[in-house]
Amino acid sequence: MENKKNTNIRWQETKIKRKDREKLLKQKGVVLWFTGLSGSGKSTVASMLEGELHKEGYITYLLDGDNLRYGLNSDLGFTRLDRSENIRRVSEVAKLFVDAGVITITTFISPFKNDRNNVRKLLGEDFIEVYVDCPIEECEKRDPKGIYKRARSGNIKNFTGIDSPYEIPENPEMTIKTYEITKEQCVKEIMDYLGKNKIIGE
């Protein structure tokens, strides 16, 4: 592992490895990366999913896009460069959680394919992309934060779906259509996927 900006550091190998933590927790560390437009239902479904996993005895952690902008990413705005840095930082945090053996759920618009592909490269087979599919018209009807209205009026710049693009995932592991099925059905689909792929239920 190389850090090109600092040659005075060295990777420290630790005695306890990921496999040891997973054995202790009796589960596998993975990242469920929820991506989709604002108002598509990412946070709602992710929160319900975490509740279901917790009820079944799994150790989870939910990394919410808004929440992380209060701390870790409080210095970032919403330019393309800042959005990319936001996702880069989160992916590194998610990698640490996976190494700890935790089922990690992230809810980030993450609109750019290149950024999501970089996360996939970093996490490899531990990365499960969940595309929360919902037309922008429906998202605007919901508009839980009132931000589409503000974006349409020009009070918010670089807003995804309005004056900044959302690049739809080409080959996500899962697509859930929150405008066609209930939140409960969305959660069941994800739980079924996790079971089928032996991430849970062993």
- Give the Cα separation of 167 and 174 in Å (integer): 16
Q: Identify the three-state secondary structure at position 132.
A: strand
User: Could you say which of 74, 110, 153, 164 is catalytic?
Assistant: 110
Instruction: Tell me: is residue 38 an annotated ligand-binding position.
Output: yes
Instruction: Tell me: is residue 37 an annotated ligand-binding position.
Output: yes
Instruction: Tell me: is residue 43 an annotated ligand-binding position.
Output: yes
Instruction: Tell me: is residue 41 an annotated ligand-binding position.
Output: yes
Instruction: Tell me: is residue 196 an annotated ligand-binding position.
Output: no
Instruction: Tell me: is residue 124 an annotated ligand-binding position.
Output: no
Strand bridging mode 30-35 / 127-133:
parallel
Instruction: Tell me: is residue 76 an annotated ligand-binding position.
Output: no
Give every strand in the sheet of 60-64, ordered side by side.
Answer: 60-64, 103-107, 30-35, 127-133, 174-177
Instruction: Tell me: is residue 113 an annotated ligand-binding position.
Output: no
- CA–CA distance from 57 to each of 105, 188, 191 (Å)? 16, 16, 13
- Give the Cα separation of 31 and 91 in Å (integer): 9
110 tagged catalytic? yes
Question: Do the Cβ atoms of 160 and 37 come closer than 8 Å?
Answer: yes
Classify the C-alpha dihedral 84-154-168-60 as positive or negative. positive
Q: Which residues participate in the annotated binding site for ATP?
A: 36-43
Give catalytic residues, as residue numbers: 110
Binding-site residues, in ranges, read 36-43
